[in-house]
Amino acid sequence: MNIIKIKDRNELDKKIPTMPWYVEKFINYKLPDLSPSSLLEYIRDYEIFFSWLLAEGLSSAASMSQVPLVDLEKLHMESVDNFRMFLATRREHANVKTTINRKLSALRSLFHYLSQIAEDEDFYPLLKRNVMAKIEIKRSHKPKDTAAKLEGKLLQEQEIIEFIDYVQHGYEHDVATNKQAIYSYELNKIRDGCIITLILNSGLRVSEVFNLNVDDIDLKKKLTYVYRKGKNDDTFKTPVYFRQDAIQALTDYMEIRHTRYKPVKKEKALFLAIANGKQEGERMTKRAIQEMVNKYAKRFGKPYLSVHKLRHSFATDYYLQNDLYKTQEQLGHASPETTQIYAHLTDKTMSEAIDKRMES
């Protein structure tokens, strides 16, 4: 099991006892089909719901874990509408429409399980009345809408090369008078250039980059093995190919990985960082990878760039040279509908994309 899933599974195990017994029953039912990370998101959504339920006096239970099923059966449509309004007015920046819909979808899944699948000892549904069945959750975004938001915020063809070159060479001229920045750059420029080059030549997610181990990389076959989002078989890694342009960057980094970051022998992580006050390199965190990309992006003049937008930049460029289904497979999308945003992100025709592919 990869590092993120181990951490999320431990967190999930800690939170389950704080939930009502029927939520634990639902989580156990879903465990074979969903990853610990997905189930942890469910639990976090349920924490918000049950806390709201208690705060509004819709349950007289002493704690979340003691909320009885009958309190769910007595919920009116008005209560669900009030919960939706509560979510919309919360201060958390993340509570945009898509996030609210996800929380309501999590509740619908729980209520559906309790009313349609789970049974009591007399073979009757655990939940006799399902108010959430009346709630319509509209898809809040379409590929075309996502593409419109991304337009002008990605690296285009030649810019991909220019950004990689800036990270590898140009950045030091912009921070020449900052001794601390120069020291950090000299230490990490090969690693940073390698990470950014790899993402822009493979479309890997930040979680996939974070989880990479040294033995996941096969330079001869031009591929790396990663745990793909949504796949629950933790004994099997998915091969993901990278372009020829990434080979030199990976080779250069692997040559200095041990001498520059001095990891302990048992450290398998590919990308390392030395934390303040420590002598040995450890696995670079997801946050550190994201902040690293943001640092270079701001100096490059594109402060809106992020790891995910680098992935989008690769995907748009890749789509021009391949078809929808190859792009879907390369990115690890569960549905071709998700991949369709790249069709909207370019004005090129499919015939041009096919010609370009045949020339390469």
Domain ranges of the chain: 3-140, 147-348
H, E, C per residue of 304-335: CCCHHHHHHHHHHHHHHHCCHHHHHHHHCCCC
CATH of 147-348, one of 3.20.20.480, 1.10.3720.10, 1.10.443.10, 3.90.78.10: 1.10.443.10
pLDDT at 115: 94
228 in catalytic set: no
Is 311 an active-site residue?
yes
Catalytic residue (one of 308, 309, 326, 344): 308
Alpha carbon distance 43, 23 (integer Å): 8
113 is catalytic: no
Residue 237: per-residue pLDDT = 85
- Is 229 a residue of the active site? yes
* Confidence at residue 200, expressed as pLDDT on a 0 to 100 scale: 96
Full pLDDT tens readout for the chain, 360 residues: 566 678 888 999 999 999 999 999 999 999 877 888 889 999 999 999 999 999 999 999 999 999 999 999 999 999 999 999 999 887 654 456 677 888 999 999 999 999 999 998 888 999 999 999 888 766 555 667 676 677 778 898 889 999 999 999 999 999 999 999 999 999 999 999 999 999 999 999 999 999 999 999 999 999 999 987 655 555 578 999 999 999 999 999 999 999 999 999 899 999 999 988 888 999 999 999 999 999 999 999 999 899 999 999 999 888 888 888 888 899 988 777 788 888 777 654 344 444 444 454
Q: Considering 222, 229, 243, 286, which one is annotated as catalytic? A: 229
Which ranges of 153-205 would DSSP assign to H, the alpha helix?
158-165, 171-174, 179-200
pLDDT the model gives residue 351? 41
Q: What is the dihedral of CA 35, 41, 42, 48, to 10 degrees?
A: 170
Asked if 205 is an active-site residue, the reply is yes
Cα(279)–Cα(96) distance, rounded to whole angstroms? 42
90 in helix, strand or coil?
A: coil
- Rounded to whole angstroms, the Cα distance separating 265 from 262 reads 9
Query: Which candidate in 237, 311, 312, 319 is catalytic?
Result: 311
Residue 333 annotated among the catalytic residues of the structure: yes
Task: Identify the pLDDT of residue 348.
Answer: 43
